[in-house]
Amino acid sequence: MTEQVIDGREMQPPEPLEKILTALDTLSADGELLALLYCHPVPLFNTLRNNGFVWQETVTDDGTHEIRIRHA
């Protein structure tokens, strides 16, 4: 399994969302994308749900939302 990481914590919207969506276009069937954000990205989750992706979200002690995305 390959993993891509996008650290959007220091980016300004909508750059993190754009980078995540671009990366998902090339995500392999067994790949995983790890997105690091300082927010709970509801618009991203709606897009993932509508396009056949699943995710797990964990919030770390420093407030980082670690979102692991893969194909359903």
- How far is it, in rounded angstroms, from Cα 27 to Cα 48? 13
Which CATH number does the domain housing residue 57 bear?
A: 3.30.110.40
pLDDT at 1 over 90: no
Give all strands (DSSP E) within 1-72, no chain letters.
3-7, 32-37, 53-59, 65-71
CB 8 within 8 A of CB 15: yes
Domain count, the chain: 1
H helical segments located in 11-55: 15-25, 42-50
Structural domain containing residue 57? 3-71
Whether 62 has a pLDDT exceeding 90, the answer reads yes
Write out pLDDT tens, residues 13-44: 999 999 999 999 999 999 999 999 999 999 99
CA distance 37 to 64: 6
What is the pTM (predicted TM-score) of this model?
Answer: 0.94
Residue 2 has pLDDT above 90, yes or no: no
